[in-house]
Amino acid sequence: MMNNAEIFTKVQAIIADQLDKPIEVVQLKTNFKNDLDADSLDVFEIINEIEDAFEVTIDTDESIQTVEDLVSFIAKAA
């Protein structure tokens, strides 16, 4: 089982790649919409990638606003 730091590192790489952003701008407190200018399609694609990478299912009604929300969800679901 991965710890939160390992989950974050993997999530950070996926988000940076999906949004074509420098990896260092993706931090735990980073908000997808406000900080990364991600629209709902971007978030949907990130979630799909995350689901595949971590073998979890994320409902679209999960209140995932920040990278930290996503890491916490994965840690609980894994």
Tell how many helices (H) and how many strands (E) occur in the chain: 4, 0
Active-site residue, 39 included: yes
52 is written with which tokens? Answer: 């595949």
Query: What are the residues whose beta carbons fall under 8 Å from the beta carbon of 72, sequence distance 6 or more?
Result: 4
Alpha-carbon separation of residue 5 from 12, 40, 46, 61, 75 (angstroms): 10, 26, 19, 25, 10
Given the residues 17, 20, 37, 39, the one annotated as active site: 39
> Annotated catalytic sites, by residue?
39
